[in-house]
Structure 1
Amino acid sequence: MLHLRLIVPADRTDDVVGTIEKTVGTAHLAVIPGAARDPAGDLVLCDVAREAGDGLISELCALGLDRSGSIALQDIGLSLSERAERAEEAAPGEGADAVLWEQLQDGTREESTLGVTYVAFLTLATMIAACGVVLDNAILIVGAMAVGPEFGPLAGICTALVRRRPRLAVRPLVALLVGFAAAMALTVLFSLGMDAAGLFTADMLHGERPNTGFVYAPDWFSFVVGLLAGAAGTLSLTSAKSGALVGVAISVTTVPAAANAAVALGYGDLGQTRGSIEQLLLNLLAIVVAGTLTLLAQKCFWARKHRRTAARPAS
């Protein structure tokens, strides 16, 4: 179940309450007149089944509540209520399959902010991966993959494409391009410093690397894995199963490829640099394609589900 907290202008309260009451899957409706001060209005509270949440939020936005008042949404960790159980049973579909588009859009926008923290995480992940590729250490590669924050902007691009709002794709695209450029530039300096300290050598980069040589040798398997990871990552975001996202992060060669490109560039190895950048771009493309197709499939599934529900005769 989800909990909705609404601040509603007094002259729109009846419309909002009516919308909530006619929505299948709602429970625990409460109205506190005049409780809100900024903006002024009534406080309306209710619980709604996750599978009915997106439709209700869309109708509330159609009433202009996102502009004249406020819509706040949060997951309910525990709800002991027979009324809530009946509401979830009445709502069409399964909550785990539902997509809350506004929540997804808001979450990916926050994760796509090109700030100091984002660049720091991406840079640190790339530097850890640089150590991994030079030492041919798979554990460091896995750790770097888990630290990298690049899936958020990728999901933001997918969301913008599916919602047909290309302007929303600008922010995550800038975060990806500038973030990786900054991380790779700083990693070049890092690798040169490690070389000066005698910790990195060209022979280590050019030697046999059975565990990490794949990062500069893109092939169809790289694209297939990127597709699978993109689909799994998108599902983990839309279903709020964030634990799966860690597995996705350590299954694609984005950060390690960027790291290998940076180290190879520092040593003037343009062949490995080119191959690593191709690997990076191939994985990014695969994730965007798979993520977009996954969101489109979910959108079509729920549209079909709602059409069937609307066509079903009332009992």
Structure 2
Amino acid sequence: MIHLRLSLPSDLAESVIEELRSDPAVSSLSRLPGACVRPEGGDVIMVDVAREAANAVIERLHALGVGVEGTVHIEDVGAWFSRPAFEAERLAPGSSADAVVWADVTYRSYEESELNWTYGAFLTLATLIAAIAIVLDSQILTIGAMVIGPEFAPIAALGVALVRRRPALLRRAASTLAIGFVLAIALTTLAALAARALGWVTVEQVTADRPATGFIYTPDKWSFIVAVIAAAAGVLSLTSARVGGLSGVFISVTTVPAAGNIALGLAFGLSQETYGSSAQLLLNISAMAVAGWLTLLLQQQVWKRILHRRERFATSG
């Protein structure tokens, strides 16, 4: 179930009420006339709608100009009990767990792909841990670096931008990825140079046989396959009402560890490590971006068909 709270001018409220009242997917509808301070004297409308039908309802509200003249607040209802709501969900086509609320997904993509201090700090810290993991040949530290890394959000945003045709989001996510990794690799390279100068890390440690972390700079077909599968799972976790398994996505894909190894390769002048890890990083990001886009595209096409069924349902209701 999705709860919508609308703040809008009173002259627009009547047409919105009529539009929502006729929709069988709407289980409850309330209006508080004149409750708004901004827009001054405007109305507040609260509505509960079956998640499966949320996209259609939100699109119709957008067509009425609610998002231009007022505000639409969207939130998931964690728990509820209501026979009308149960009937609305039972009659609406599709499953609530499978439904993608595109307005919510798009907003979160903009929010989470912003290049800010927090994103840069997390990515840099993750890359530093990855570099230490490589020196120590530690799988545990490698996994820790993968979990800390925040790079999946802008990678997923690339797919959202392509599917929803948002060029501004595409530019935002791409620049966040590029600048974030350049910054993290540069700072980790400086840290590696300092460790080398202090004698904490030697070239022999970096070039030694590393059975636990050698995969980081040797990309192969399995790197691509795992990245594709993990990205598809990650996108499903982000778009589904049943969120789960996202941490497994972070652990599965070699992005941050590759960035850490690039930094070590630059600090110690090891071209093979640098080139191999760069190929691994680019391969994984590209595979995840394409897989995320294809998964979202498939979801959109499936829900377009469900939307046609929903329109027939709304008309008959």
Is TM > 0.5 for Structure 1 vs Structure 2? yes
The equivalent of 2:24 in structure 1 is 24
Q: Is the 8 A contact 2:96 2:241 kept in 1?
A: no
The equivalent of 2:224 in structure 1 is 223
Unpaired segments ≥5 residues, structure 2: none
The equivalent of 1:153 in structure 2 is 154
Per the normalisation by structure 1, the TM-score is 0.97
Per the normalisation by structure 2, the TM-score is 0.96
Per-residue deviation at 1:241?
4.0
Q: Is the 8 A contact 2:217 2:258 kept in 1?
A: yes
Q: Is the 8 A contact 1:161 1:169 kept in 2?
A: yes
Per-residue deviation at 1:240?
4.1
Does 271-280 or 189-198 show the bigger shift?
189-198
1:281-309 deviations in whole A, cap 9, x for unaligned? 00000001100000010001011112234
SS at match of 1:47: strand
Per-residue deviation at 1:83?
1.6
The equivalent of 2:165 in structure 1 is 164
Give the letter for the 2:169 counterpart.
L
* Alpha-carbon distance between aligned partners in 2 of 1:77 and 1:310, rounded to the nearest angstrom: 26
Does 168-177 or 235-244 show the bigger shift?
235-244
The equivalent of 1:177 in structure 2 is 178
* Alpha-carbon distance between aligned partners in 2 of 1:293 and 1:137, rounded to the nearest angstrom: 34
The equivalent of 2:94 in structure 1 is 93
* Alpha-carbon distance between aligned partners in 1 of 2:67 and 2:210, rounded to the nearest angstrom: 55
1:252-293 deviations in whole A, cap 9, x for unaligned? 000000110111110000111011010000000000110000
Does 72-81 or 238-247 show the bigger shift?
238-247
The equivalent of 1:37 in structure 2 is 37
Give the letter for the 1:296 counterpart.
L
Give the letter for the 2:285 counterpart.
L
SS at match of 2:211: coil
SS at match of 1:29: strand
SS at match of 1:243: coil
1:293 and 2:298 correspond: no
1:314 and 2:311 correspond: no
Per-residue deviation at 1:196?
2.9
* Alpha-carbon distance between aligned partners in 1 of 2:29 and 2:6, rounded to the nearest angstrom: 11
SS at match of 2:97: helix
Give the letter for the 1:257 counterpart.
A
1:106-163 deviations in whole A, cap 9, x for unaligned? 1011111111100000000000010111111000010000000001111111111001
Q: Is the 8 A contact 1:134 1:204 kept in 2?
A: yes
* Alpha-carbon distance between aligned partners in 2 of 1:59 and 1:148, rounded to the nearest angstrom: 38
Per-residue deviation at 1:16?
0.8
* Alpha-carbon distance between aligned partners in 1 of 2:71 and 2:102, rounded to the nearest angstrom: 17
Give the letter for the 2:25 counterpart.
G
1:211-269 deviations in whole A, cap 9, x for unaligned? 11011001111011110011001000001444321110110000000110111110000
Q: Is the 8 A contact 2:56 2:307 kept in 1?
A: no
* Alpha-carbon distance between aligned partners in 2 of 1:51 and 1:153, rounded to the nearest angstrom: 26
* Alpha-carbon distance between aligned partners in 2 of 1:156 and 1:210, rounded to the nearest angstrom: 34
The equivalent of 1:273 in structure 2 is 274
Q: Is the 8 A contact 2:92 2:310 kept in 1?
A: no
Aligned residues, how many?
315
- Residues 1:32 and 1:311: Cα distance change in structure 2 (over 3 Å): closer
Give the letter for the 1:277 counterpart.
S
Per-residue deviation at 1:198?
2.9
The equivalent of 1:130 in structure 2 is 131
Q: Is the 8 A contact 1:26 1:47 kept in 2?
A: yes
* Alpha-carbon distance between aligned partners in 2 of 1:255 and 1:249, rounded to the nearest angstrom: 9
Give the letter for the 1:25 counterpart.
A
Give the letter for the 2:99 counterpart.
A
The equivalent of 1:83 in structure 2 is 84
* Alpha-carbon distance between aligned partners in 2 of 1:178 and 1:153, rounded to the nearest angstrom: 12
* Alpha-carbon distance between aligned partners in 1 of 2:30 and 2:56, rounded to the nearest angstrom: 20
Per-residue deviation at 1:194?
2.1
Q: Is the 8 A contact 1:187 1:259 kept in 2?
A: yes
Per-residue deviation at 1:314?
3.4
